[in-house]
Amino acid sequence: MPLTTRPAATSYPNCARWVALVLHLLPLLFPAIFVFAAVINSIAVLYAAVAIHLTIIAGENTIGRHYSNEPNESALAQGSASQAPLFVWAICHAVALSAAIALIARSRLTAHQIFALGAIFGYSINLFSIVVGHELLHRRATAPQICADILFAMMLLPQFPTVHLASHHRWAGTTQDCQTPHAGEQIYPYLWRALYEGLCLSLSRSARAHEPYLLRRTAITLALIALGSIYGWPVLLFLVVQGVFAFLVLETLNYVQHYAVERPVPGIAQAANRDINFVSRCILMNLPLHDAHHTHPSLSYSELTRVPDAQTYCWGYWTSFWIVWLPPLWQHLQRQRVRQVVER
């Protein structure tokens, strides 16, 4: 079924355009925070990153819902079909990673402080790098592919592109896909299954034949770990923690995007869910329109629009991320949503 037509530009409120522009630029604050922390040699600055995340959650539940039916265009987004913003973020990731390592190398941080630093890095920098790397992964040119490989290698996720291309886009919404939660499956067993089955799949001959660059990404990952070992165990601990949180963020997003797609609700698409929250769509490059991505995976994020008959949320990804970690609450809200859909 063809993509729906975007509303005319005249129907788009000027206020929402400015909000969209601010939200598109918001991720750049996180690398700046890590650089500033390294410059003044203090991890206290990282509280600013936590404050930004709390502000985003508040925004999702206010303006995100208010503008949920608006396109997330701005002067910045109109040129986003180009690859320049994606490469800019890849550079920002490398700068933030270097700043974090420099901060650890120059400071006498405790293990708890290093863990907190890695967790904030994983939840802040790696979140956006997952989105950018995913977008680059679906570009056919060599430069975007190499850039995606470097990003996933820096996050200690060299297996993800193999699993994503060899399995997820072929079997999403079925029990054959390790990145689709089974009906009623809670987040905790899902994470273990996604890790184990994903690693096994990435090492299989058929998967490597479909996506042959696993060795290249693994080599970059090992080189990063070897470089980190020069600075001792604090940097190694940081690299491991930020990699663990990158995996948790990635698979929690997958869980939200594909939860209950196997459930036989009449008239609803089965590949992926979508979240129309304005704030999430702006900040995460239309990733919440995940149904459209699975329908047309070759389209740029700036070209994605809603497709009919997909399960729809308006919670926002930051809000959903924390709700799924409370399975009784998540499943209660899901049952309410399904009842509302059936009663319409």
Low-confidence ranges of the chain (pLDDT < 50): 1-11, 74-80, 263-269
Residue 327 contacts by C-beta under 8 Å, 6 or more apart in sequence?
186, 187, 188
Give residue 113's pLDDT: 96
Give residue 163's pLDDT: 93
pLDDT digits (tens, 9 = 90+) for 267-319: 344 678 889 999 999 999 989 888 888 888 888 888 888 777 777 889 999 99
Radius of gyration of the chain (CA): 20
Q: Are 273 and 313 in contact (CB under 8 A)?
A: yes
Domain contains 149 = yes
The tally of domains found in the chain comes to: 1
Give residue 11's pLDDT: 45
Domain contains 2 = no
Give residue 295's pLDDT: 82
Give residue 1's pLDDT: 34
Q: Is 300 helix (H, G, I), strand (E, B) or coil?
A: coil
Domain contains 134 = yes
Task: Provide the 10 A C-beta neighbour count for residue 54.
Answer: 11
Domain contains 246 = yes
Domain contains 4 = no
What is the span of the domain harbouring residue 16? 9-343
Domain contains 3 = no
Residue 207 contacts by C-beta under 8 Å, 6 or more apart in sequence?
162, 163, 166, 167, 201
Task: Kindly state the helix (H) or strand (E) to which residue 293 belongs, with its residue range.
Answer: helix 290-295
Q: Which long-range contacts (CB under 8 A, 24 or more apart) does 230-233 make?
A: 231/101, 231/104, 231/105
pLDDT digits (tens, 9 = 90+) for 74-101: 444 444 456 788 999 999 999 999 999 9
Give residue 92's pLDDT: 97
Q: How far apart are CA 296 and CA 303, in angstroms?
A: 10
Domain contains 143 = yes
Give residue 310's pLDDT: 75
Domain contains 147 = yes
